[in-house]
Amino acid sequence: MRFGPAGYPKVGSRSDPEASLGVTKEMGLDALEVEFVRGARISEERARAIGTCARGFDIRLSCHAPYFISFNSDNPETIDKSVQWVVDTARAAHWLGAYIIVIHAAAYGSRPEAATENVIKGLAESKDRLDDMGIKDVILGVETMGKKGQFGTLKEITQVMSSVDGVRPVLDVAHVHARGGGCIKNEEDMRALVDEFFPLCGDVAHFHISCIKYGEKGEISHLPLSEKEPDMQYLADVLGDSDRDCTFICESPLVEKDAAVFRDMFPKYRRARKEEGTRWKLSQSLRPPFSWHSSSWQLRSSSPQSDAGLMAPRTIYGRAHTGGIRTRLFTVVVAIAVIVAIVLTAIGAVIFLDRCPFIGDNK
């Protein structure tokens, strides 16, 4: 099982995916969902560099497609754009090495009876385009939705799967809870949901986790796990002894913090991640920051999986920790300056004592 945040953890004032991946690793997390919710605007070179960094940290990537997608729109142009948004996101995911993209497929709008058919048509066209591009390693994940006016129950997604290859459900537990008016009240309710989901999800079960505020129309907003609406400990208890490969992406307002909170609801993963984090930090403390490679000085990768002394360009020590390296260099320069000042002061004192007339009279 893997646990991680939706989006890159914030590092400083600028976007720095490699540094964010390093923070994710330091927290003992090993998954991350890249948020292309406003569009998948990334070059192949940049995406592959980030993917290399993620693999070095052993972080499993997924991607979230734009929120604008609506295969059931009354506007044909929106439907065409929706297909392109799916294709663009899947292509970016392919470059990143992400295994799944998460899609909000449609709203019911004025044609609720046509929603399933239109989602099938849109995803089938998206899949055909991706096949023509040779991209066959990215799952099209349709998310269970929390508002009653949105397409996305497990039953509806199952109908899409029967018509389009490569489609799987993404189980947003809080969305199901909100859509059902607070339907997950105990461990038995959670177990029934998981039992419905697992036969559909393929080799890797992809979850979104959070708590949620809801009303008559379903979802209103995501909440921290401390709100226990629903209590995510039920999910951890249901899956505690499971050997299924699962990815849990946290979408609470406390994204990376609650990802770690949920991980720690599993006793075996709490112990394992803490031990791994301790070993990793110790290994970094014992390694010099520089190595000689390809006729130039390069900074070591902070990844425990990296080759000794080698790194992918722009990993965490290459960027996020540049400030730390500069601080250490500044400290060394200051220390040298202090030593020089002490030596010069001592020399000056000797000369002064040698020339002092009072001391000279005693010689």
User: What confidence score (pLDDT) does residue 328 get?
Assistant: 61
Residues of the chain with pLDDT > 70, as a percent, come to 79
pLDDT at 331 over 80: no
Q: Note the pLDDT of residue 311.
A: 33
Picking from 260, 209, 259, the residue whose alpha carbon sits closest to that of residue 234 is 209
Determine contact, residues 63/36, Cβ cutoff 8 Å: yes
Mean per-residue pLDDT for 333-350?
79
R_g (Cα) of the chain, nearest Å:
27
pLDDT, averaged across the chain: 85
Q: Among candidates 125, 131, 142, 141, which has minimal Cα distance to 82?
A: 125
The mean pLDDT of 149-156, rounded to a whole number, is 97
- Interval 234-264: pLDDT, tens: 999 999 989 999 999 999 999 999 999 999 9
Check residue 279 and give its pLDDT: 59
Q: How confident is the model at residue 6 (pLDDT cuts 50, 70, 90)?
A: very high
Cis-peptide, bond into residue 230, ω within 30° of zero? yes
Pick the range with the lowest mean pLDDT from 51-60, 91-100, 276-285, 302-311.
302-311
- Band of the pLDDT at 55, cuts 50, 70, 90? very high
The fraction of the chain above a pLDDT of 90, given in percent, is 70
How many other CB atoms are found less than 10 A from the CB of residue 46?
14
Least confident stretch, 72-81, 96-105, 274-283? 274-283
Q: Say how far apart CA 215 and CA 221 lie, in whole Å.
A: 10
More confident residue, 330 or 165: 165
Q: What is the pLDDT of residue 344?
A: 84
pLDDT number for residue 272: 59
Max mean pLDDT among 5-19, 27-41, 259-273 falls in: 27-41
Q: 172: closest CA among 10, 1, 24, 6?
A: 6
pLDDT of residue 326: 54
Q: What is the pLDDT of residues 102-147, one digit of tens each?
A: 999 999 999 999 999 999 999 999 999 999 999 999 999 999 999 9
CB contact set of 156 (below 8 Å; sequence gap of 6+): 115, 116, 119
What pLDDT digit, counting tens, does each position of 198-232 carry? Answer: 999 999 999 999 999 999 999 999 999 999 999 99
Q: What is the pLDDT of residue 293?
A: 33
- pLDDT one-digit tens code per residue, 263-313: 999 988 876 555 665 555 565 555 544 333 333 323 333 333 333 222 333
CA distance 174 to 231: 9
Position 354 pLDDT exceeds 70: no
Burial label, 275 (beta-carbon count in 10 A; 0-12, 13-18, 19+): exposed
pLDDT at 302: 38
